[in-house]
Structure 1
Amino acid sequence: MSSVVYIDPDDLNKIDQPKTAIAIESAAVGRQRTFLRAKSNGKLDPFLHTDNDTIGFDLAFIAEPVSGGRLHIGSQMTFRSAQWKDRYLHVTCDGPGVYTVSCKVREQADDPRAHFYFVRLKAESNALSIGSVGCPGRYIAMDMGNDEDGTGGVVSSRAGHSNATWFYLTPFDVPTFGT
């Protein structure tokens, strides 16, 4: 089953806000999403939501690909926010069908704000997208495990009428995600 992961760049240091959540949308069951919501103790609270509202996801930004192409194990693709030029999204292939997605504020590694979001995505099928709540049809598509040697996939940007991609970022600190 394909999934769409939504992310939100606001409140970088607050993981206990009710609007802070990751939404995984089923491509097979329309309008059904599983949300991982931050709780005050820093734990995640999963819940199912079948409505089509965006539960307060009101902040999006356009991502422009900085580098990328076919992802092999250890390779990385980078997207930069078109609205906030110092914010970057990195997608790294860690293994067959396993990707790490991280977001950085500024390029400096010693910036204490550099890594406010970290999540590992493991494919349950050959396709997974980072997509938009507010602008359907705009997403970053990850075609997982379809490389010639079976160790990588293709990351591409799809956005309707332009090369820009809308997506959301959340300030979770989650070492693993998915099964």
Structure 2
Amino acid sequence: VTLRDLVQLYTGLANGGKMHTLHDGTEPANTERTTATILDDQAAWQINDILSGVKPPEGAMQHGIAYKTGTSYGYRDAWSVGFDGRYVLGVWVGRADASPVPGLSGYVSAAPILFEGFVRSGLASVPLPGRPPGVFNPKREELPVTLARFGAGADGLVQATATEPAPTIIFPPNGARVDLGTNS
């Protein structure tokens, strides 16, 4: 999957489930836009609602951006794709020869560039589409017992509620030293 493929796919989230042909601004103004429906508008809104609630990278302002990050196996690629109500932007960070970069991750490496890209574009942020009719978005109290597994504590943080004690780690025993070898 290329970065262009990811950005193309995310146009469907940004547009209520309708994926648009990518344009980079160099095409004539009358270039025809093609669309394909990849999700219904309710499913797209649910995903947007989740992605718009992701904490922005350290030092970045939210700017109404919904986004997702990813890191490939072996720290070879880090990416982030984000969108507001009109624009989709994708960022890839890595080495052209696909060699690993220790510590590389989408959240630490690509997401700050994504947010900076939205800021530097100079374009006003366009709000994400509102909730379409018919979306089921219940409060925690309205969920069936099997889905209402978490409750907010006095500090506002979500606390897991369990009816049995937490599992005990028996190996390695507390205070033990485990040799991980020279290649770790």
Give the alignment's TM-score, normalised by structure 2.
0.30
* Structure that is richer in helix per residue: 2
Give the alignment's TM-score, normalised by structure 1.
0.30
Greater RCO (Cα-Cα under 8 Å, separation 6 or more): 1
* Structure that is richer in strand per residue: 1
